[in-house]
Amino acid sequence: MDEKEIYQAALDNWGYESQIDMMIEECAELIDALQKLKRLDSMMIPLPDAGLE
């Protein structure tokens, strides 16, 4: 089964609206994860160079 057939099977099984809703939910989870990563990055405190090179 190729990629196009897999997508068509999903549409046939669950319907267009359901697949759009799933895509919106996945995008929301990605946005949430990116926001957490951005917040974590802004909270990072630079450590002084220990000269251990």
pLDDT (0 to 100) of residue 39:
86
Q: Which residue has the tokens 């090179």?
A: 53
Cα–Cα nearest to 28, from 53, 9, 10, 20: 20
Distance CA 46, CA 9 (A): 50
Distance CA 22, CA 7 (A): 13
pLDDT tens, 1-53?
899 999 999 999 999 999 999 999 999 999 999 999 888 877 776 767 766 65
Asked if 38 and 31 touch (Cβ cutoff 8 Å), the reply is: no
pLDDT (0 to 100) of residue 51:
65
Asked if 19 and 11 touch (Cβ cutoff 8 Å), the reply is: yes
